């Protein structure tokens, strides 16, 4: 019976027959393969990693997101009458594989806003949601001040205009 092993260096898979001894080197790149004789290093995974149906489903969703973004990129270029390279920003290219519970596929945001928020937090300034406030406490704050309930009033006025009730 053959298994597919993946090299930790080149990340390429190769076949290994269970009747043969465990490979010490990757046959593709020659890198040393970890074994159960690692001297007690807990950071080395020596058991095969079996993908569950859940991780396969996550991978499939990510592949579909990437593929559909490429289709959208081509359609947008066709509709705009421009080169596909001009629409390259529409293609999703920064999805990370999710292998563990709690992993997030999207790459972390690193822009001027996130950098400013990080610097504010480093200086002890308030950033984002603070303390143990609940949604009710946040909603109560929206009902105070000079523009209290402004969004709700605008939505109500829009509904009255749409239904001819001015």
Tell me the whole-structure pTM to 2 decimals.
0.34
Domain-by-domain residue ranges, the chain?
1-50, 51-122
Tens of pLDDT, residues 118-135? 999 899 888 876 666 677
Q: pLDDT of 70-108, one tens digit each?
A: 999 999 999 999 999 999 988 887 776 666 656 666 677
Sign of the CA dihedral 64, 70, 76, 81?
negative
């Amino acid at each position: 019976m053959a298994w597919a092993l993946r090299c930790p260096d080149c990340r390429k898979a190769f076949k290994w027959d269970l009747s043969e001894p465990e490979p010490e080197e990757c046959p593709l790149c020659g890198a040393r393969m970890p074994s159960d004789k690692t001297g007690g290093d807990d950071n080395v995974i020596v058991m095969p990693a079996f993908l569950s149906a859940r991780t396969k489903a996550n991978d499939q969703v990510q592949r579909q997101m990437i593929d559909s973004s490429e289709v959208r990129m081509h359609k947008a270029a066709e509709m705009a009458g421009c080169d596909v390279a001009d629409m390259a920003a529409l293609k999703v290219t920064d999805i990370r594989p999710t292998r563990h519970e709690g992993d997030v596929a999207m790459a972390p945001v690193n822009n001027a806003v996130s950098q400013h928020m990080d610097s504010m937090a480093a200086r002890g300034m308030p950033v984002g949601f603070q303390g143990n406030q609940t949604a009710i406490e946040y909603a109560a704050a929206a009902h105070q001040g000079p523009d209290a309930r402004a969004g709700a009033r605008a939505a109500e006025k829009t509904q009255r205009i749409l239904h001819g009730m001015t």
